[in-house]
Structure 1
Amino acid sequence: MSTAAAAAGRGLKSVSRAAFSWKPTGRAQQTLAAAVSRSGVGLHSGARATARLLPARAGEGRYFVVEEARVAAEAGNAEPQSPLCTTLRSGSGGARVRTVEHLLSAMEAFGVDNCRVEVSGGDEIPLLDGSAQEWVEAIRGAGLCAAEDIGGQKLEKLAPKIDEPVYLRKDDCFVAAFPSSQIHITYGIDFPKAPAIGCQWFNTFLDADIYSSKIAPARTFCIFEEVEKMRDAGLIKGGSLENAMVCR
C-alpha cells in the first residue's frame, strides 16, 4: 500500500510523499544521568500510576515497559484511533501505553535520546498537572550524560532532515513541515466553542529554554458541555480541575 493510500485509510484528506533523511549532528547520543520517577492519576483510566525514567544504552532509543512488555516510542507503534490521547502499542494486540505525549515531548525538547520508562499501576502515563512542565523538571533534576552501547562506545546522534514538504490533513486540522536549517514552529488554533481559548497564533524558533517557558506549561483543556459525553464514552475518568482546564 502506498503512503498516500495508508494515510487515506486513517482518515487523512491529503498527504504528500514523505521524504526524510538522517543527518549527522557531530554529537553523542544522550541519556539520563540518574533515574527519576513521577506518580499521579491517569487521565482516562483514573488509576494511580507511576512512570520511572531510567538511563538506557546508546542505540536503544526511548521505550516503555508495561507489564514486562516493551513498547518502543516509534511512529509505527502509534494507534490510528486513540481518542483524546496518544497510544503506543507493540504489534497487533500487544501491550499498550497511553497518554505519552507530554513525556515524549519533554524528552525530545531536552535531547533525551535513549530512555527506559517503566510504567506501573496501569497502562497510562500520569497526567500530573496536565502539562509537560513536571517532566521538564524531572529531566532537569536527573541531568543528562553521553549514552554508551553495550561495548562502552558512544554513538553519534542522527537528526531527521526533511528534504521536501510534508502535508497531512484531517477534517479542519492540518500539519505541514518544510525543509529548514532550524526548528521553527508556527501553530494556530481556532476554538469558538471556548472564548477563553478562541483564535490564537504562536510563532517561535525552538530550543530547550523556549520549550520550557512557552510550550511545556500549556495545559490540557476541555469544554464544560462535553464533559459528560466524554465520561459516558469511558474517557477522562481521572480528569479534574487539578490536571485540566475546563472552559465554558
Structure 2
Amino acid sequence: MEVKRTRLAIDKSPEVIEGADVPLLPMPTEYQQTLWASFTVSGIGLHTGETACVRVRPAFAGEGRYFVRVPQGTNAARAALEMGLGLEDEDEAGAEAGEGEDEAGMTDAEYRQMTLDAYSDYLTAMDQQGFNASFMDYLETEGYADLIQKLRDEGPPRYVFSDPEAPQPRGEDEDMVPAHASALVEPNPVNMSLGSETMTVMTVEALLSALEACGVDNARIEVEGGDEVPTIDGSAEGWVERICASGLCPAPARADLPVWGADRPTGQTDGPWARLQAEKAQARAAAGGAEGEDEGEGEEAELPGVRKLVLRPKEVVSVHRGASFITLYPEDTFRLTAGLDRHVEAPVIGKQWKSWAMWEDMHYKHALAEARSFVSSPEQAMGLRDAGWLQGGTEGCVLIAYGERWYDDELVRFDDEPVRYQIQSLIGALSLLARDGHSGLPLGHIVSYDADAELAAAFVAKLAETAREEDWVPIVDVTGPSEEIDYQELMAEVLGEGGAGEGEAGEDEGAGIGAGEGEFEEGEQGAAGGLEAEDEEGDGEFEEFEEGEEEEAEDDSIIDVEAEDLDPRGKGRGGKARR
C-alpha cells in the first residue's frame, strides 16, 4: 500500500558551514562524510570479557563502514596514549604536534574539551532548566570569562591537523567484514554480531549507532585482540564523544572506486538544498556587490562531497513476534518511536514510550547516546551470566532493575532510560541497511514495541530484501506533496474495515505470548541459553491463559507481515495476558 508523502526529510536543511561557524556536534548531511581524524578505544567486551582495541579511521566515499582484523600490537600503544594519559601527557603530545599554550595558559586540547563540556551543559540547561538564550549568553551567566575571551579572539577551537587524516584504502587480502545486513550472523535477543569467512565481530550496535546518527558514513574500523567491541560504559556516549573530538569532513572520492548512485541527479533546481545555496550566494553577493547576484539560481547546486542516497520505502514494512513488533510507515522524515512494558517484572521501568526525530529533536548525543543497556532484575542478570553472556561484568555499564527501584541509582541518567536505549540500539541495527557509504537510517516513521536485537535483525533483513534500487533517492529528493497523513484513515486501510472481530482477536490473543515481555528471556529461551521466564511466581493470569491457549502459544517465531495483514497493536497485548 503506497501512502502520501508527509514532510521533508530535513525540515530545516543544514547549511554547509565553514570557518568560525563550524557546528560542535556532528550531523548527517546530503553528501557522504567521514572522520577528520581517527580515534582509538581499548576496553573489555560486555559479553566475552575479552579485551579489544578498536581504531576508527577515515575511509573513502563509497567504502562505507567496515571492520578489519589487524595484528596484535598494531594500535594498542595508540589506545594507551589516547585513553590513558592525563592532561599533562596530552599537552605533551599536543606540543609535539605543534600545539602550544595561549597567554592564559590554556592548551588547544584543554580549549577543545572545555568548549565541548560547556556546550553540553548549555544544551542540558535548555532542556531541563528552561534556559532560553544563546550559547554566549549562557557562558556569561555561568562565568566562563576565559572561554568567552578565547572564543571572541580565535573563534571555535580548531583541530591540530592542518589537513584531514588521509584514509587507508581497503586491502583486497585483509580479513574484513562489512557493516551490512548481509553480514549478520547468529541472530539472538542479546546483541548483534557480524561475520565473514575469516572474522567475527560482536556487539556492534552501540558503535554503529553512534557513527550513523553522527553522520560518519564511511569508516575503517580496525579490531585488535578480542572479537567484541569494547562496551565502554554500556552506552554510546563514549563513541559520540570521540567522534565529536575527531570531527567530520566530506569523504574523499577514490578514482578507482565509482560510488553507486552518486551521480544520480536530484532533478531539483528549486529544492531545499538548491534554494539554500541560492540564498547563500545572494547573501554573499549582497555583502560584496552585485557580482554573482544570480549565482545558484536555475541550476542544481554542487555538493562539497559525493552525493548521499537514502532508502525511501513506499509501503508499510513490518515484522512481529507475539506482542512484539517493528513497523515502518512511509513518511518523509527520520522518526523512531519505541515502547516497552516491564510493569510486572520491573515496576521501576513500568510502561514507557518515546519518539525521536533526527531533525526536530535534541541531538542524538544528548537525547539517546547516554542511555545504558538494562536488565529487568538481578535474577535476569545472573541468568544471562550463567548462559554465557555478561562475562565482562555489569558494574558501571548495565542498569539492573530491582523491583520498584534500581539496584544502583547512581548509574541512572534518565527516568525513561530503557526506552531511550531501545531507540539507540534500533539505530545501530538500521545502520546495517547502509550500502556504499549511503544512509543506513531509512526515511519513514519506525515504530517498535518490546523489540530486541533478534527482532531488529529480522526487520533490517526484511527491509533490505524488499528494497528496490529506485527506492534509493538523494536525501534532498523527498519533497513530494507535503501533506499530513490521516493516521486514522491509514490504520483503517491497514486493518481492514472495522479491524478483526472480537472472536478472531480472542482466538489469536495468546499467540506467542511472552515474546518480548522481558528484554531477553520470555519467549526466547532457546536463543538466550534456556533462561527461565522472569515471572515464575506469576499472578495466575499468565498460567491460566497459557493452559487454555497452549497450542497457539508454542510458536514464537518471527513473522513477516504484509501491510494488509498488519495489526500494529500486536496480538496478545489485551485479554488476560496484559491489562
Q: Is the shorter-chain TM-score for this pair beyond 0.5, marking a shared fold? A: yes
Q: CA RMSD in A?
A: 2.2
When residues 95 and 140 of structure 1 are mapped into structure 2, their CA distance, relative to the original with a 3 A threshold, is: same
**Per-residue CA distance 1:15-60 (angstroms, 9 max, x = gap):** x9xxxxxx9x983210000000112110111012121100001100
1:233 aligns with 2:233: no
Q: In the alignment, which residue of structure 1 is the partner of 2:226?
A: 122
Q: In the alignment, which residue of structure 2 is the partner of 1:211?
A: 364
CA distance in 1, matches of 2:327, 2:251: 32
**With CA pairs under 8 Å and 6+ residues apart, which has the higher RCO, 1 or 2?**
1
CA distance in 1, matches of 2:217, 2:334: 17
Q: In the alignment, which residue of structure 2 is the partner of 1:89?
A: 195
1:50 aligns with 2:49: no
Please identify, of 36-45 and 203-212, the stretch whose mean Cα deviation from structure 2 is larger.
Answer: 203-212
Match of 1:77 among 168, 179, 183: 183
- Deviation, structure 1 residue 172: 2.6
| Number of residue pairs the alignment of both structures matches | 224
Report if aligned partners of 2:54, 2:221 keep a CA contact under 8 Å in 1: yes
Ranges in structure 2 where 5+ consecutive residues have no aligned partner: 2-8, 10-27, 71-173, 259-304, 403-579
CA distance in 1, matches of 2:252, 2:388: 43
When residues 83 and 122 of structure 1 are mapped into structure 2, their CA distance, relative to the original with a 3 A threshold, is: farther
Q: In the alignment, which residue of structure 2 is the partner of 1:20?
A: none
Give 3-state SS (helix, strand or coil) of 1:108's partner: helix
Match of 1:244 among 368, 376, 398: 398
Match of 2:312 among 161, 181, 184: 161
Give 3-state SS (helix, strand or coil) of 2:185's partner: coil
Give 3-state SS (helix, strand or coil) of 1:150's partner: coil
Match of 2:211 among 93, 107, 115: 107
Identical counterparts, % of pairs: 41
Match of 1:134 among 238, 244, 263: 238
Report if aligned partners of 2:177, 2:199 keep a CA contact under 8 Å in 1: yes
When residues 115 and 131 of structure 1 are mapped into structure 2, their CA distance, relative to the original with a 3 A threshold, is: same
Question: Hey, which bits of structure 1, 4+ residues long, moved more than 4 A?
Answer: none
- Deviation, structure 1 residue 163: 1.1
Report if aligned partners of 1:49, 1:119 keep a CA contact under 8 Å in 2: yes
Q: In the alignment, which residue of structure 1 is the partner of 2:330?
A: 179
Give 3-state SS (helix, strand or coil) of 2:206's partner: helix
Q: Residue 31 of structure 1 aligns to which amino acid in structure 2?
A: T
TM, length-normalised to structure 1? 0.84
Please identify, of 104-113 and 171-180, the stretch whose mean Cα deviation from structure 2 is larger.
Answer: 171-180
1:61 aligns with 2:165: no
TM, length-normalised to structure 2? 0.37
- Deviation, structure 1 residue 202: 0.4
- Deviation, structure 1 residue 209: 4.1
Q: In the alignment, which residue of structure 2 is the partner of 1:8?
A: none
Decide which structure has greater helix share.
2
- Deviation, structure 1 residue 190: 0.5
Greater C-alpha Rg: 2
Ranges in structure 1 where 5+ consecutive residues have no aligned partner: 1-15, 17-22
Give 3-state SS (helix, strand or coil) of 1:245's partner: strand
- Deviation, structure 1 residue 233: 1.6
- Deviation, structure 1 residue 83: 4.5
CA distance in 1, matches of 2:217, 2:29: 14
Match of 2:353 among 195, 198, 201: 201
Please identify, of 81-90 and 144-153, the stretch whose mean Cα deviation from structure 2 is larger.
Answer: 144-153
